[in-house]
Amino acid sequence: MATAAKAPKKSAKKSADAAGGEPKLRIRVRAYEHKILDMSVKQIMDTANRFDAKIVGPVPLPTETKRWTVNRSTFVHKDAREQFEMRIHKRLIDILSPNPKVIEALTNLNLPSGVTIDVKMV
């Protein structure tokens, strides 16, 4: 029985890196309030558009929900409880082949408090 040798499959990510190898800026924005988050994302996109950068996004990522249940009373009343939750909204923006002017403009942005930004070069 003769078997044909299978060629290894290349993943889409590896073939894209080998073909273009163009750098991109991946920006993850997080905030507790979605309105402030959307305003910040719009400000980032306007800044990138001003320098003619190609943008992919914003991509809404799943909202992270943290929940806590706490007794209302300190002693006897076990059935009386309060539940609290905190939601963290997230967005993802990719800027393809950014030039130094775009990177400098993004570092000088003034964003509202409560907005967290992670910038990676991928």
Number of H helices, E strands in the chain: 3, 4
pTM above 0.85, yes or no: no
Tokens representing residue 90 in the block: 């997230």
Query: CA 48 to CA 119: how far, in whole Å?
Result: 14
| CATH superfamily placement of domain 23-74+81-121 | Ribosomal protein S10 (3.30.70.600)
Domain locations in the chain as residue ranges: 23-74+81-121
pLDDT digits (tens, 9 = 90+) for 69-120: 999 988 888 889 999 999 999 999 999 988 889 988 888 888 899 999 998 9
Question: Which residue did the predictor score with more confidence, 18 or 77?
Answer: 77
pLDDT over threshold 50, residue 28: yes
